Structure 1
Amino acid sequence: MDASYKPHDRMAELLADELAQVNDLIRDRMASEHAPRIPEVTAHLVGAGGKRLRPMLTLAAARLCGYDGPYHVHLAATVEFIHTATLLHDDVVDESKQRRGRPTANLLWDNKSSVLVGDYLFARSFQLMTETDNIRVLRILSNAAATIAEGEVLQLTAAQDLATDEGIYLKVVRGKTAALFSAATEVGGVIAGASEDVIKALFDYGDALGIAFQIVDDLLDYQGVSAATGKNIGDDFRERKLTLPVIKAVALANTEERGFWERTIEKGIQNDGDLETALTLLNAHGTLEATKQDALSWADRAKAALEQLPDHEVRTMLRDLADYVVERIS
């Protein structure tokens, strides 16, 4: 695979006309005659150079299933609005100061604006999905929105509790990340009137891709390059988030090491050098490598799901995308 020509770039080129329609619809629906702060805040986030990966998955799934419109554009815009709303809320919850290498909306404006504009985008997303007049699509996307919120709330309690195991971590990840990936691919098949087998395969692909994506994200927090990730290395540790590399290390910890994790994660008492100690423990127990293997395994599951789908250039791109998601850690 040509490293300079990424799979999502190839997909964006193939779907350029539909993506332009999605962008036009997003701009149109994020306008507000009465509250100019809404387009200001959303334009900052929407213009931050995101890959539009989730809406692209909806368009790709619809194209793969032979659909030629017009409602896949509405659904793709819906998916992006849900995603953007959750980002605005997440940054407030996490007290983040940077996203995609730029200051967050809550830093540039304030928490109130971020929360309320996020609420507005959620409302807009529901307006958009009703315009398709497809109750199944409504059910899938509204369930996804509820699952995302549930995952975020679960993370609040699970993130700083050393009793959190890999099963709970997977529930959090399925909620906060994979639910929107799987809904994005599933609704593309549903709106196209695809068979149940194809719709299930699209769901399974999105689910596994989303889990791989989040595991990679959590791994890069400990071994990425700040400029490449747009985050600071060790942010999850500083924010006392129990992600997969740490969950694996806690499971293997001796009494002294467990005491370290209790102090830094559960109690939040962190001193200079603690991040370095955490990295030493992760490396000593091989949990970064084990986490990497988990991500690769989920990417393989995503690719396996594609075998159920029609032979199509989009299917090849989706396969390459699963490889690309984990390429950042290999």
Structure 2
Amino acid sequence: MNTSAATKPHDMLAQALAEEMAAVNRLIQQRMASEHAPRIPEVTAHLVEAGGKRLRPMLTLAAARLCGYDGPHHIHLAATVEFIHTATLLHDDVVDESGQRRGRPTANLLWDNKSSVLVGDYLFARSFQLMVETGSLRVLDILANAAATIAEGEVLQLTAAQNLATDESVYLQVVRGKTAALFSAATEVGGVIAGAPAAQIQALYKYGDSLGVAFQIADDLLDYQGDSMATGKNVGDDFRERKLTLPVIKAVARATPQERAFWQRTIEQGKQHDGDLQTAMALMEKHGTIKATRDDAVGWADKARMALDTLPDDPLRDMLRDLAAYVVARLN
């Protein structure tokens, strides 16, 4: 597939949804305003204007349009999804003590942790106001559930990230929480607001869930084989931060006693020396865990593409299909 700048699926999606995304952006600007606390729009604008792909709100708009929706509320839902995403990023950067996101200093670095946490709380509250305005209890249920699942996934990651007992099923639970939950909610509510048949809503949910899992596995893999200019992360950041992601979990599962001792020292105890990253990469290569992880990501992307088969034949459906392929095409 040709993925030059002009034909990247998310860019094509952005072009197809340009008018609606402009309305979403206007709504975001209105709702992140605060009469009494100017720091709120300052902090929010720093993140919102950092040039993210706005993938999640586009998924909501695409799902609603694909199911024939012609009302105003998909704009509210897309803004809701972006607010939830932005709130979780603000909180994540505090938890992870991050200094950089999308190549720019994080809000907690420019302001402070207190501001990041409180502005994140404000955005969560704003997102619930937007949900309520749609008048749909089912939409409220889906998005409130997603917000709880995201928080649950983050808390699970705190205990699982540096524990060698963490296996692939726990990893998947974390990924489903912190990433896939918002993807699947974003696509599902698009179908719900459009009044789509149950089978189509289920297909949209499955697409978002599988896409989110593929997206996160690919992201974790790029940490060990990516281009830091393209990803905004340094190769091996997850290893240095002692995060147990899928390539390492697979290597630990196949480790000899001597190799397991290496993982215990570097990940569990955090005693890392020069050359440890190279050793880690060599162990992953030895046990074929980079390829196995890539195969997993491709498998989830395939599930996402197949989930779309029951949806109406439409150029937007093709773009969503291409998007799933592109998420893993980055791994070649």
Name the TM-score class by shorter chain: over 0.9
Name the structure 1 match of 2:228.
226
Where does 1:287-302 land on structure 2 (aligned, <5 Å)?
Answer: 287-302=289-304
1:272 to partner: Cα distance: 1.4
Give the Cα–Cα distance (whole angstroms) in 2 for the partners of residues 119 and 272 of structure 1.
Answer: 40
Q: 190, 195, 202: which one pairs with 2:197?
A: 195
Secondary structure at the counterpart of residue 229 of structure 2: helix
Q: Structure 1: which amino acid aligns with 2:157?
A: Q
Q: CA RMSD in A?
A: 0.7
| TM-score, structure 2 normalization | 0.98
Where does 1:53-132 land on structure 2 (aligned, <5 Å)?
Answer: 53-132=55-134
- Please give the per-residue CA displacement for 1:45-65, whole angstroms capped at 9, x wherever unaligned: 011110000000000000000
Name the structure 1 match of 2:145.
143
Give the Cα–Cα distance (whole angstroms) in 2 for the partners of residues 3 and 312 of structure 1.
Answer: 20
Q: Percent identity?
A: 78
Give the Cα–Cα distance (whole angstroms) in 2 for the partners of residues 116 and 231 of structure 1.
Answer: 26
Where does 1:263-282 land on structure 2 (aligned, <5 Å)?
Answer: 263-282=265-284
Give the Cα–Cα distance (whole angstroms) in 2 for the partners of residues 92 and 25 of structure 1.
Answer: 26
Name the structure 1 match of 2:176.
174
Q: 131, 134, 137: which one pairs with 2:136?
A: 134
The reply to whether residue 3 of structure 1 matches residue 3 of structure 2 is yes
1:69 to partner: Cα distance: 2.0
1:161 to partner: Cα distance: 0.6
1:253 to partner: Cα distance: 0.3
1:103 to partner: Cα distance: 1.0
Q: Structure 2: which amino acid aligns with 1:210?
A: G
Secondary structure at the counterpart of residue 23 of structure 2: helix
Name the structure 1 match of 2:46.
44
Name the structure 2 match of 1:250.
252
- Please give the per-residue CA displacement for 1:245-289, whole angstroms capped at 9, x wherever unaligned: 000000000011100110111111111111111111111111011
Q: Structure 2: which amino acid aligns with 1:174?
A: R
| TM-score, structure 1 normalization | 0.99
- Please give the per-residue CA displacement for 1:271-326, whole angstroms capped at 9, x wherever unaligned: 11111111111111110110000000000000110111111111100000001111
Give the number of aligned pairs: 330
1:238 to partner: Cα distance: 1.1
**Does the 8 A contact of 1:102 with 1:230 survive in 2?**
no
In structure 1, runs of 5+ residues without a counterpart are: none
1:89 to partner: Cα distance: 0.5
Give the Cα–Cα distance (whole angstroms) in 1 for the partners of residues 210 and 195 of structure 2.
Answer: 23
1:36 to partner: Cα distance: 0.8
1:108 to partner: Cα distance: 1.1
1:150 to partner: Cα distance: 0.1
Name the structure 1 match of 2:164.
162
In structure 2, runs of 5+ residues without a counterpart are: none
Give the Cα–Cα distance (whole angstroms) in 1 for the partners of residues 254 and 106 of structure 2.
Answer: 36
1:2 to partner: Cα distance: 3.2
Q: Structure 1: which amino acid aligns with 2:67?
A: C
The reply to whether residue 318 of structure 1 matches residue 331 of structure 2 is no
